[in-house]
């Protein structure tokens, strides 16, 4: 039940991974945007630079070039030697040399670089001045212009560092023809390219600062997210533990409930059994009372008749005397059965009186046959009992007759008594060395009509129990059936009288 914790841990881990991916993805996208932005910024600067160069060049072209005093940095252009007015002298005698637009621009580009270290370039696949010959990247760009492209702008490596290189085609205009006519150009042709290379270092510096700020911000948000997640994870685990505890408690409660149901069911079954027993007894009662009444008189008559015959037939032969005895004995057995039946169902209220244990036991031993050795263990100091002596005689007689019947080949019958002073009771034991009982027999003991004997009627124990209980006592049986622990013991516990008196 508690073992859902791994699932919770897995979900927490998944949430952490998902949160990290979201924050990481956002940061990645921001870095990408910054990179794009810095390229756009660099391109913007490149275009401004190129526009400025084109403006200068157009201005110079519109004037057919400009004349400047020749000097160390501006010697007469040898590639313009074919132009008649390349060098002129002013009316005051000052010499001037023609700077064509390309020459002018190249000088500006080489001598005055921009604030970011931009490098302007003027180049052509067919240059007048070999210094204007393109490098590999420029050659490829110039060829693409011939295909119709109007601007090429790319990040490219120069001496191991990234630069943004931008170039636009340079279209032949009327002003160009003066210097480039002998190369066969016409107005509208791609003459070459005008471009600039800007080091990305500065933009990267700005971008790196922005990235650092963003990374810090994202880091803070990521950690804050993890803290919130941790808080919820703790709550989830706590909640889970509480639920598990509740489930455990419910489980225990269920078990307790089940045990109670079982106990109550057992109680109910016992009550039901008792009810059945009582019902059986009640039914038996009816039959017993009717049959008892019907049989008592004929049995009495028969008994009288036998007595009469035995008295008058003093000289009867041996067989006749024997049969008369049999009849007499069987009448006695029948009378006992009838008496048992009546007793079983019709316990008259006990009339308790003080009586000693010896007085209770002695009369019950008269019927014990000689084959059974009787051992008595009755201390003289025992208190007297307060019971209905007739009823307890009957109960003990029933127990003793069972013991005798359990020892058909003889044995020992031990009768003992002990006092339980705190409980104010005396326990009598009737112990035999007879056949004993099986567990199944023990289960059915004290049930009316339960007997294992061919001529038994199964009422002796019921009567004994009823009589003892009516006198405020209890009967318990312990019996073994194994060869080592054979025999049966019935213990009868009875209430002692308050006065301590054994001398009667
Ligand atoms: P009955 O003697 O008519 O059979 P009881 O109620 O006296 O009826 O006894 C019921 C049964 O209990 C007996 O049939 C017998 O199986 C068993 N029983 C009672 N007392 C003993 C004993 N001392 N030893 C062995 N079995 C006994
Ligand atoms: Mg019996």
- What six digits make up the tokens of 338? 């009838």
User: What pLDDT, in 10s, does the model give residues 372-391?
Assistant: 999 999 998 899 999 999 99
Which ligand is closest to the CA of 452, given by its number? 1
State if residue 452 touches ligand 1 by the CB under 6 angstroms criterion.
yes
State if residue 429 touches ligand 1 by the CB under 6 angstroms criterion.
no
Q: What H or E segment, with its residue span, contains residue 1? A: none
What pLDDT is recorded for position 17?
Answer: 96
Instruction: Look up the pTM and report it.
Output: 0.47
What pLDDT is recorded for position 504?
Answer: 38
Specify the CATH class of 353-501 in words.
Answer: alpha beta
Q: What H or E segment, with its residue span, contains residue 493? A: strand 487-495
What pLDDT is recorded for position 276?
Answer: 84
State if residue 460 touches ligand 1 by the CB under 6 angstroms criterion.
yes
Which ligand is closest to the CA of 462, given by its number? 1
User: What pLDDT, in 10s, does the model give residues 214-258?
Assistant: 999 999 999 999 999 999 999 988 998 999 999 999 999 999 999
State if residue 450 touches ligand 1 by the CB under 6 angstroms criterion.
yes
Per-residue pLDDT band at 191 (split at 50, 70, 90): confident
Residue 35 has pLDDT above 80, yes or no: yes
Question: Which ligand 1 atom sits nearest the alpha carbon of residue 450?
Answer: 10
Q: What is the mean pLDDT of residues 421-442?
A: 92
- What six digits make up the tokens of 130? 């070999």
User: What pLDDT, in 10s, does the model give residues 300-351?
Assistant: 999 999 999 999 988 889 999 999 999 999 999 888 888 877 776 666 789 9
What pLDDT is recorded for position 499?
Answer: 59
Could you tell me the distance, in angstroms and rounded to a whole number, from the CA of residue 455 to the centre of ligand 2? 10
State if residue 432 touches ligand 1 by the CB under 6 angstroms criterion.
yes
State if residue 438 touches ligand 1 by the CB under 6 angstroms criterion.
no
Strands 372-377 and 411-420: parallel
Per-residue pLDDT band at 267 (split at 50, 70, 90): very high
Which residue's CA is minimally distant from atom 21 of ligand 1? 402
Could you tell me the distance, in angstroms and rounded to a whole number, from the CA of residue 151 to the centre of ligand 2? 129
What pLDDT is recorded for position 406?
Answer: 95
Q: How far apart are CA 298 and CA 301, in angstroms?
A: 5
For 152, left (φ over 0), alpha (ψ -120 to 50), or beta?
A: beta
Of 33-37, 90-94, 105-109, 436-440, least confident by mean pLDDT is: 105-109
Would the CA dihedral through 330, 335, 337, 338 be positive or negative?
positive
Question: Which ligand 1 atom sits nearest the alpha carbon of residue 441?
Answer: 16
What pLDDT is recorded for position 346?
Answer: 64
Q: What is the mean pLDDT of residues 91-110?
A: 87
Which residue's CA is minimally distant from atom 7 of ligand 1? 460
Residue 111 has pLDDT above 80, yes or no: no
DSSP assignment string, 261-287: HHHHHHHHHHHHHHHHHHHHHHHHHHH
Could you tell me the distance, in angstroms and rounded to a whole number, from the CA of residue 476 to the centre of ligand 1? 13
State if residue 388 touches ligand 1 by the CB under 6 angstroms criterion.
no
State if residue 120 touches ligand 1 by the CB under 6 angstroms criterion.
no
Could you tell me the distance, in angstroms and rounded to a whole number, from the CA of residue 405 to the centre of ligand 2? 8
What pLDDT is recorded for position 502?
Answer: 42
Which ligand is closest to the CA of 465, given by its number? 1
Residue 503 has pLDDT above 50, yes or no: no
State if residue 457 touches ligand 1 by the CB under 6 angstroms criterion.
yes
Could you tell me the distance, in angstroms and rounded to a whole number, from the CA of residue 164 to the centre of ligand 2? 124
Per-residue pLDDT band at 114 (split at 50, 70, 90): low
Could you tell me the distance, in angstroms and rounded to a whole number, from the CA of residue 445 to the centre of ligand 2? 11
Question: Which ligand 1 atom sits nearest the alpha carbon of residue 446?
Answer: 6
What pLDDT is recorded for position 501?
Answer: 44
- What six digits make up the tokens of 46? 């490149």
Domain positions in the chain are 5-33+205-284, 287-345, 353-501
Residue 60 has pLDDT above 80, yes or no: yes
Which ligand is closest to the CA of 490, given by its number? 1
State if residue 446 touches ligand 1 by the CB under 6 angstroms criterion.
no
Could you tell me the distance, in angstroms and rounded to a whole number, from the CA of residue 459 to the centre of ligand 2? 7
Among all chains, which residue has been given the structure tokens 């339960």? 450
State if residue 226 touches ligand 1 by the CB under 6 angstroms criterion.
no
Tell me which long-range contacts 238-247 makes (C-beta under 8 A, separation of at least 24): 240/2, 240/4, 240/5, 240/8, 241/2, 244/1, 244/2, 247/1
Cβ-based burial of 131 (10 A; exposed 0-12, middle 13-18, buried ≥19): exposed
DSSP state of 189: S
State if residue 431 touches ligand 1 by the CB under 6 angstroms criterion.
no
State if residue 435 touches ligand 1 by the CB under 6 angstroms criterion.
yes
Coarse DSSP helix, strand, coil percentages of the chain, rounded to the nearest 5 percent? 55, 20, 25
Question: How many helices (H) does the chain have, and how many strands (E)?
Answer: 10, 14
Determine contact, residues 98/86, Cβ cutoff 8 Å: yes
What pLDDT is recorded for position 188?
Answer: 80
The rounded percent of the chain whose pLDDT value lies above 90 is 54
Q: What is the mean pLDDT of residues 451-457?
A: 87
Cβ-based burial of 357 (10 A; exposed 0-12, middle 13-18, buried ≥19): buried
Residue 21 has pLDDT above 80, yes or no: yes
State if residue 453 touches ligand 1 by the CB under 6 angstroms criterion.
yes
State if residue 195 touches ligand 1 by the CB under 6 angstroms criterion.
no
Q: How far apart are CA 501 and CA 384, in angstroms?
A: 6
Which ligand is closest to the CA of 461, given by its number? 1
Residue 204 has pLDDT above 60, yes or no: yes
Q: What is the residue-averaged pLDDT of the chain?
A: 88
């Amino acid at each position: 039940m508690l073992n859902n914790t791994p699932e919770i841990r897995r979900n927490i881990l998944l949430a952490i991974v998902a949160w990290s991916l979201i924050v990481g993805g956002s940061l990645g996208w921001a870095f990408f945007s910054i990179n794009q932005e810095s390229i756009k910024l660099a391109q913007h600067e490149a275009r401004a630079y190129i526009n400025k160069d084109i403006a200068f060049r157009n201005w110079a072209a519109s004037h057919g070039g400009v004349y400047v005093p020749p000097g160390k940095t501006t010697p007469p252009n040898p590639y313009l030697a074919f132009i008649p007015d390349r060098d002129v002298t002013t009316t005051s005698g000052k010499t001037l040399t023609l700077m064509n637009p390309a020459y002018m621009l190249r000088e500006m580009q080489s001598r005055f670089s921009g604030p970011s270290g931009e490098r302007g370039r003027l180049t052509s696949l067919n240059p007048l001045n070999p210094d204007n010959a393109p490098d590999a990247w420029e050659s490829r760009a110039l060829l693409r212009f011939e295909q119709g492209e109007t601007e090429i702008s790319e990040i490219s490596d120069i001496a191991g560092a990234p630069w943004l290189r931008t170039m636009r085609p340079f279209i032949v205009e009327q002003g160009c023809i003066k210097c480039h006519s002998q190369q066969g150009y016409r107005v509208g042709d791609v003459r070459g390219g005008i471009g600039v290379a800007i080091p990305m270092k500065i933009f990267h510096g700005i971008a790196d600062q922005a990235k650092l700020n963003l990374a810090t911000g994202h880091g803070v948000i990521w950690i804050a997210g993890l803290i919130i997640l941790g808080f919820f994870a703790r709550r989830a685990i706590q909640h889970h533990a509480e639920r598990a505890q509740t489930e455990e408690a419910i489980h225990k409660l269920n078990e307790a409930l089940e045990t109670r149901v079982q106990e109550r069911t057992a109680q109910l079954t016992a009550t039901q059994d008792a009810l059945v027993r009582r019902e059986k007894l009640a039914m038996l009662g009816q039959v017993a009372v009717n049959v008892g009444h019907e049989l008592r008189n004929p049995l009495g008559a028969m008994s009288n008749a036998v007595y009469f015959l035995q008295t008058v037939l003093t000289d009867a032969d041996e067989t006749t005397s024997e049969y008369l005895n049999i009849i007499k004995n069987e009448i006695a057995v029948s009378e006992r059965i009838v008496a048992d039946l009546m007793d079983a169902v019709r316990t008259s209220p006990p009339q308790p009186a003080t009586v000693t244990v010896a007085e209770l036991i002695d009369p019950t031993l008269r019927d014990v046959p000689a084959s059974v050795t009787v051992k008595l263990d009755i201390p003289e100091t025992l208190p007297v009992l307060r019971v209905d002596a007739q009823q307890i005689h009957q109960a003990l007689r029933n127990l003793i007759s069972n013991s005798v019947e359990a020892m058909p080949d003889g044995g020992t019958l031990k009768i003992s008594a002990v006092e339980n002073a705190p409980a104010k009771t005396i326990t009598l034991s009737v112990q035999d060395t007879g056949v004993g009982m099986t567990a199944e027999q023990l289960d059915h003991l004290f049930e009316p009509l339960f007997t294992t004997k061919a001529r038994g009627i199964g009422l002796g124990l019921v009567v004994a129990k009823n009589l003892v209980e009516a006198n405020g006592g209890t009967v318990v049986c312990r019996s073994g059936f194994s060869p080592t622990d054979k025999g049966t013991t019935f213990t009868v516990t009875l209430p002692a009288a308050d006065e301590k008196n054994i001398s009667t």
